[in-house]
Chains A and B, each alone.
Chain A
Amino acid sequence: MSARTRLVIIASAAAIVATAAGPAGQAPPQIPPPTQTITMKGKAPVSNAVLKVSLPKPLEADLPNGLHVMVIQDPRAPQVTIQLVIRGAGGYYDPPDQYGLAQFTAANLREGTARRTSTAIAEQLERLAATVTVNAAMSSEEATLNASALREHFDEVLDLAADVLLSPAFPEQELTRYKAQTRAQLQQQRANPTFLAFERFSRAVADGHPDGRMAPAVEALDKTTRDALAAFHKSHYVPDHAAIAITGDITMAAALKAVQARFGAWAKAGAPEPSVSDPVAVADPGVFLVARPASVQTSLVVGVQAIRYTDADFYAMTVLNKIIGGGPTGRLFRHLREEKGYTYGASSQIDARRFRGTWIASTNVRSEVTEAALRDLLDELRQAREIRVPDQEFADAKRSIVSAFALAFESPQAPVTNALTRWRYGLPADYWDKYPERIMAITQDEVQAMAKKYLDPKKLQIIAVGDRAAAEAVLLKLGRLQVFDADGRKIQ
């Protein structure tokens, strides 16, 4: 907050700018973290005990066709939610000549079956205030059916979910309608600066890999045929590597019986376990501007390729991410918002998958402070690399992660989400029980090592979406700049 602190930051930020643009520079002298806006008076009564919470675990079973069944009985409310995950049916497995086909297939499942029309499905579900949706994102390995209903409607809704998933008719007329609606959506999302920033980042960090694709091209949509949907469904919607997780006011016996009745005849295909590969390692830093005329803010996304979910680095990265950008206690929020007033929010996130995912810091700042905000953001990364996290901040971050398990206990979804994560990555049965102690065992040195290993300025991708006049000169100082328009066309 003081003028002195600000001057120090600007001086050291100049060093990082040079580093990002060229070969690694000399480490500048250590300075205290710039986030001086917090005063801990220490008068509030805080319990030092951390509640040891053991989240409910599912009862599990396997059907002969390979479908894995997980049930968590939660009698707190008369409702049931269902998640059916099909590995191998996501956009990751799109054919190379039609990126988006997995997403189109998932969306069209609800548009009619042998027994029901599109309208009949919608009316039957919504009369019960139930939901059934199927999604398969462009970079996802999986297609996921999500369903929820009052307990009294569970059987009817599961029956409908099975019909949609296993017997889609893909009516021609509905596909035509879907295309028109989706064309509009594809156009509309280009008005959203966050979409544009993440789209460009994905391309920068994983070009040619499914993780580099955020949205389908209109051409891929236009050429989609009923037969293509049916063929993708036939070959990819198989139970071999699928799981159904059910939670709510239902017993394992009742749930298993219902699942067997609806999905027992789903034929095993003998499909091999779906495989994935990492995106090609990024060799150079990148600086990109997406020119979005009439913008009053610059949307910044800065990130790198980082880790797989199953990497040993996952825990230390989780702690590092919490320290840099994990919510209002993170350095980005405290520094860019609470100290400088550049933004409404600033945060960071890890996206870890079976393949090597990303670490991203992002914020939206008013156009005039683009340079200062970007400089300060980059300096947070430098500090994470060069300065050991202070003891109190480090202890707070770990405690924050571990003690949040109590709140997860309240959510009906959190135990299921955790169970599915364990299944998806083949993690041991006690994974979530051990998770808190693994977090607590992380050291400051390990966290700093993560920052040095992953937050490497030589691999950093910097994306800015906004007014070209406000951002271009700033970005040119950071390296070779590539400029795109909001339709994704390269303009420089």
Chain B
Amino acid sequence: MTVSPWTAAALAAALVSTLAAAPAAQTGPTIKFTETKLANGLRVILSEDHTAPVYSIVVHYNVGSRDERQGRTGFAHLFEHMMFKGSENVGPGEHFMLIFNTGGNMNGTTNKDRTLYFETLPSNQLDLGIFLEADRMRSLAITKENLDNQRNAVQEERRQGLDNQPYGRTDEVIDELAYDNPAYEHSVIGSMADLNAASVEDVAAFFKTYYAPNNAVLAIVGDIDPKVTLEKVRKAFEPIPAQPAPPKVDMTEPKQTAERRLSLDDPLARLARVDIAFKVPPRTSEDDDAVRVLGTILSNGRSSRFFQKVVREQQLAANVTAGRDSAVGPGLFFVTATVAPGKTAAAVEAAVLAEIERVKAGPIEDWEIEKARNNSKRTVVGGLTSSLNRGTQLAEFASIFNDTARINQRIDRIARVTAADVQRVAAAYFTAENRTVVITQPKPATKGGQ
């Protein structure tokens, strides 16, 4: 089979038809898609784009670490690893081999709210991607051997990502301190003890409850024929039986009434760090767009207020980052500032909080709002050429917002945010009683190695 390079003419034609279909109110490019619900409840989203001989398949399961029961922290992510260890018609390790040896790419990722699996493949391998995802949704191979092996891999993932890194404990402890509800209180990676406790029976129960077609969204995007693809999807996925809807997790978070604060020593850190987490509303809240614009103004790039004031002018911090998490439920907006050598954490904290107060008091410059708008436009435009980006976004809008078409409102939503909105959310959520502060101090380890 031969695929010729895309030509300007062919692509121009494709773009024109896309734009012509866009409702007049929307700004920027429109992503076209179809959405179908199979008899077993699986939602299927297809989006056709022939500009590269490639497609991506994404399965978004509506389960994350929030669904873990007590004593099983880290289980949702450990389970994700099990999904690569085989199913009725796929041997252990075969998934990796089939994807990479056909020139594809793949991975899985777990957060507090969802678990995502994806493959990007040359478009002549459409049957392969559908087969692999359907087979493991239908018939995961659950063995003690697979579990023990992946338990080890996950425990090393924890060590590599947290326990052997400076500030690793900080990243975990701030969630524990900020949240009261156990759903979000613990880390996605989980504790070593809980990972050790996970059993084959846990895996089987979790699979049956959460990995049901009615708890998933499937997106296939790229060089596909939607009609043919939908037929293939029906054939592969529709026989998988639906299950009773998973129990709804109580996500309510009691209102915080006073600042929470903790200091800890870190033998792996070289510089002190200030972490501040403000409670912010869920991503689905109407205030979310304004919170995001606030994040851009405070911390995006070298023109941001944190960089210009706290890093550049006052030289208190070596760097400052900020932004909200991806939580579907009650979220956290994190500010993370590394204290410059010779400066104090207290001075950095005061400077960061002063910048937040300056947002509330105004003024916010027009260019700062324009920056946030152009940022959202660039993010959307930058994702256009990636079938994987499009697939994960479509699945996410379907699953989290139950509104797939919202993918085409990303630019407009940010464009509607005004300076007054930003100041309103800053005043409402970025308060002393709504924040959690963790100060990390480097602690020299004992000489000689232990």
> Which A residues are closer than 8 A to B by beta carbons?
1, 37-41, 43-47, 49-57, 73-79, 110, 118-119, 122-123, 125-130, 150, 177, 180-181, 183-185, 187-188, 190-193, 291-297, 327-329, 334, 337-345, 364-366, 396-397, 399-400, 402-407, 409-412, 467-470
Those 8 A-B pairs whose CB atoms lie nearest each other, nearest first: A403-B103, A341-B152, A39-B91, A468-B449, A293-B445, A184-B318, A38-B93, A129-B374
B371 touches A51 (CB 8 A): no
Helix, strand, loop or mixed for chain A's interface?
mixed
B54 touches A469 (CB 8 A): no
Task: Output the least CB separation between A115 and chain B (Å).
Answer: 17
Q: A53-B53, A129-B377, A411-B385 are in contact. Are A402 and B103 (CB under 8 A)?
A: yes
Which single member of A130, A334, A364 contacts B159 (CB below 8 Å)? A364
Q: Once the chains bind, are A403 and B156 in contact (CB under 8 Å)?
A: no
CB distance from A205 to the nearest CB of B (A): 24
Contact B100 A329 (CB under 8 A): yes
Is the pair B371, A127 in contact by a Cβ cutoff of 8 Å? yes
12 contacts between A and B (CB under 8 A): A38-B92, A47-B127, A50-B122, A78-B381, A329-B96, A342-B156, A344-B161, A396-B101, A406-B122, A407-B120, A409-B3, A409-B53
Closest partner residue, chain A, to B132 (CB atom): A44
B49 to A, closest residue via Cβ: A76
- CB <8 Å contact, A76 and B6: yes
A-side contacts of B301, CB under 8 Å = 122, 125-126
CB neighbours (8 Å) of A340 from chain B are 152
Chain A residues contacting B161 (CB-CB under 8 Å) are 344
Q: Is the CB of B384 within 8 A of A77?
A: yes
Complex CA distance for A49 and B124, rounded to whole angstroms: 8
B124 touches A47 (CB 8 A): yes
Task: Assess A467 versus B1: contact at CB under 8 Å? Given A44-B94, A119-B308, A407-B120.
Answer: no
B215-257 CB contact bits vs A (8 Å, 1 = yes)? Answer: 0000000100000000000000000000000000000000000
- Kindly state the separation between the CA atoms of A433 and B7 in the bound complex, as whole angstroms: 18
| B415-428 Cβ-contact flags toward A at 8 Å (1 or 0) | 00000000000000
Across the interface, do A293 and B447 meet the contact criterion of CB distance under 8 Å?
A: yes
- Contacts A294-B267, A341-B148 aside, 6 further interface pairs with beta carbons under 8 A come to A49-B124, A54-B3, A126-B303, A187-B270, A297-B163, A328-B96
**Does B97 sit within 8 A of A, measured CB to CB?**
yes
**With known contacts A41-B91, A293-B445, A410–B100 Cβ distance under 8 A:** no
- Identity of the chain B residue whose Cβ is nearest the Cβ of A131 in the assembled complex: B301
- Determine whether B23 belongs to the interface, using a CB cutoff of 8 Å to chain A: no
* B1→A51 contact, CB < 8 A: yes
Closest residue of chain B to A36 (Cβ to Cβ) is: B93
Closest residue to B126 on the A side, CB-wise?
Answer: A47
Known pairs A43-B89, A44-B131, A409-B53; A122 contacts B302 (CB<8 A): yes
- When A and B form their complex, what is the total count of cross-chain residue pairs whose Cβ atoms lie within 8 Å? 285
Smallest CB separation, A68 vs chain B (Å):
21
Q: Which residues of A contact B89 (CB under 8 A)?
A: 41, 43-44
Query: Do A119 and B303 touch across chains, with their CB atoms under 8 A apart?
Result: yes
User: Which residues does B use to contact A, with CB under 8 Å?
Assistant: 1-6, 8, 11-12, 15, 29, 51-54, 86, 89-94, 96-98, 100-105, 120, 122-125, 127-128, 131-132, 135, 145, 148-149, 151-157, 159-161, 163-166, 222, 267-271, 300-304, 307-308, 311-312, 315, 318-319, 338, 340-341, 367, 370-371, 374-375, 377-378, 381-382, 384-387, 445-450
Is A78 a contact of B94 with CB atoms below 8 Å? Answer: no
Cβ contact of A337, chosen from B4, B12, B148, B153, cutoff 8 A:
B153
Q: Given A123-B303, A129-B371, check contact A341 B97 (CB 8 Å).
A: no
Q: For the complex, give the distance between the alpha carbons of A190 and B271 in Å.
A: 10
Find chain B residues with CB under 8 A from A293 CB. Answer: 267, 445-450
Which of A54, A119, A365, A403 gathers the greatest number of chain B CB atoms within 10 Å?
A: A403
**Do B91 and A127 have beta carbons less than 8 Å apart?**
no
The chain A residue sitting closest to B168, CB to CB, is A296
Please indicate the chain A residues that have their CB under 8 angstroms from the CB of B445 in the complex.
293-294
Q: Identify which of A129, A293, A340 gathers the most chain B CB atoms within 10 Å of its CB.
A: A129
Task: Please report the C-alpha to C-alpha distance between residue A52 and residue B4 in the assembled complex, in whole angstroms.
Answer: 8
Do the beta carbons of B450 and A341 come within 8 Å of each other? no
Distance in angstroms from B363 CB to nearest chain A CB is: 15
Q: How far is the CA of A10 from the CA of B245 in the complex (A)?
A: 50
A191 touches B51 (CB 8 A): no
Within the complex, what minimum Cβ distance (angstroms) separates A78 from chain B?
Answer: 6
B376: nearest residue on chain A (CB-CB)? A129
In the bound complex, do residue B303 and residue A122 qualify as a contact, i.e. CB atoms below 8 Å apart?
yes
Given the known A-B contacts A127-B374, A184-B341, are A177 and B315 also in contact in the complex, defined by CB atoms under 8 Å? yes
